[in-house]
Amino acid sequence: MKQVFFGARLFNGFDFIDDHVLITEGATIIGLVPFNERPHGLIERDLGGGILSPGFIDAQINGGGGVLLNETPSVKGISAILEAHRKFGTTHALPTLITDADEVLVETLAAGKAASGFVPGYLGLHIEGPFIDTIRAGAHPHAYIRKMKDADVDRLVQGRSGVMMVTLAPNKVAHDLIRHLTQSGIIVSLGHSEATDHEAFAAIEAGATAVTHLYNAMSPLSHRAPGLVGAALADPRVIAGLIADGHHVNPTAIRVALAAKGPSGIALVSDAMPPAAGESDIFKLQGRMATRTGTKLSLPDGTLAGSAITMLDAVHYLAKDVKVELKHVLQMATSTPAKMLRIDRTFGRLAKGYASSLVHLTDDLKVQSVWIDGLNDH
C-alpha cells in the first residue's frame, strides 16, 4: 500500500523541509518529493499542518503505564511499557532493567528474545547495572551491585536479541571484558561511576561508545578533576544520554553539553518509571516507595528515582523552557539516538529506504498521530 503524506512540514532527522511530501510503501519510505511533483493515484494523507517527524527513539525506558520492567520481566511487561509511551510519539525503544537479582536478569533476557520481532517498537534491551559503582548507585540497590565476570559477559552476549546496551562503571570493569562486549555487538555505555577522566578514556579506547544520563550518578566536572562528565563532553566518540525533565539537569548544564557536543552528540532519554504516561503517583521500586511530586520522582531519602516523563515531555521542556532550537531538539529525539544505537541506517530519518515509523505533531508539539512501520497506531 503506497501512501503520500502532505500538508505538514517534514523534519528529516536533521532539518526541516518545506513544500515536500513523504511517500511510503508499507513499512518503508520510498521518497520525498516537492509538493508539485507528488504522484497521484496513491492513498493521500492530508495532515493539515504541523510537523511530520521520524518517531522518537528512547534508549532508556524503565517503565510506563503503571508497569516496571524489573517487576514484570516478560513479553507482556515489555509490550505494556512500549504501548504506554507510543501514544506520546515514541515508536521504538529499549526497555531498561536496572540493577537487580540474577534471576530477574535471566528472566528479562528470555523475555527480550521472545519479544524480538513480535512486539511493535521493541529494539532490544538496556541492561543498566549491576556492574556499577556503589558510590554513584543512585536509586540502584547496593545489595545487587557486583563485579563483572567472564560468565556475565557470556550471558549477555548469548542473551542479546537485536540491540543491547549495557551500562557499566568504567572504573569497576576490566578493559578486556568491555572489549569482549563491544566486539560481540553490544553497546557499552559508561555510567553510575566515580571514574576519573583517564579511567573513562581507557574504557572508550576499549570500545565504549555511550554515556548514561549525563551528569547524573557520575563523577562531576571540575577544572583539575574532569571526571566522567569531563570525558563525556570532551570525547566525540561517545554519545551521551540526557534526561531533560527540569530536575535531573540544570538548563545551563544542558546548554554546556550542547555547546560541547552539539545535537549529534546528545540523545534524549526518558529514564521513565511506571508513573510516566499518566499513571499513579506512587509505585514500589524494589520494595522502596517512590513518589511523584509534580514531574519529579523520588525515594523517601530524596534520591531521584528515574523520571515521570515521556520523550515528548523532554522535547517540550527543551524547546519551550530551555529554548533550544526545535530542529536540534527533534534531532536529539530521532537521528541521534538512532546513531547511538547503531540503527541509523534504518531509523531516525525521513529518507528513502528508512522505516516509515512516524509521528505527526501539531505546531505546539502535541501528538496527532503515530505510525510504526507504516501502520497507524494513534
Q: Is residue 156 part of a domain?
A: yes
Residue 217: closest CA among 306, 293, 296, 156: 306
Report pTM: 0.97
Q: Is residue 182 part of a domain?
A: yes
Q: Is residue 73 part of a domain?
A: yes
Distance CA 56, CA 209 (A): 20
Cell of 24: 511510503
| Same domain membership, residue 117 and residue 144 | yes
- Which residues pair with residue 16 across a beta bridge? 11
Q: Is residue 8 part of a domain?
A: yes
| Same domain membership, residue 308 and residue 201 | yes
Q: Is residue 307 part of a domain?
A: yes
Distance CA 150, CA 82 (A): 32
Q: Is residue 345 part of a domain?
A: no
Provide the pLDDT for residue 164.
Answer: 98
Cell of 374: 507504516
Which CATH number do you get for residue 40?
2.30.40.10
| Same domain membership, residue 363 and residue 300 | no
Cell of 105: 536478569
Provide the pLDDT for residue 286.
Answer: 86
| Same domain membership, residue 333 and residue 239 | yes
Number of domains in the chain: 2
Residue 140: closest CA among 179, 104, 106, 174: 104
| Same domain membership, residue 157 and residue 95 | yes
Provide the pLDDT for residue 218.
Answer: 98
Distance CA 132, CA 352 (A): 41
Which CATH number do you get for residue 143?
3.20.20.140
Q: Is residue 228 part of a domain?
A: yes
| Same domain membership, residue 153 and residue 43 | no
Residue 269: closest CA among 215, 231, 230, 218: 215
The count of other CB atoms within 10 Å of the CB of residue 1 is 8
3-state helix, strand, coil in the chain (%, to 5): 30, 30, 45
Provide the pLDDT for residue 195.
Answer: 98
What amino acid positions are annotated as catalytic residues?
A: 271
| Same domain membership, residue 194 and residue 126 | yes
| Same domain membership, residue 122 and residue 43 | no
| Same domain membership, residue 7 and residue 92 | no
Provide the pLDDT for residue 378.
Answer: 61
| Same domain membership, residue 364 and residue 290 | no
| Same domain membership, residue 131 and residue 37 | no
Domain that holds residue 247: 56-340
| Same domain membership, residue 254 and residue 150 | yes
Per-residue pLDDT tens digits of the chain, which is 378 residues long: 899 999 999 999 999 999 999 999 999 999 999 999 999 889 999 999 999 999 999 999 999 999 999 999 999 999 999 999 999 999 999 999 999 999 999 999 999 999 999 999 999 999 999 999 999 999 999 999 999 999 999 999 999 999 999 999 999 999 999 999 999 999 999 999 999 999 999 999 999 999 999 999 999 999 999 999 999 999 999 999 999 999 999 999 999 999 999 999 999 999 999 999 876 888 888 889 999 988 899 999 999 999 999 999 999 999 999 999 999 999 999 999 999 999 999 999 999 999 999 999 999 999 999 999 988 876
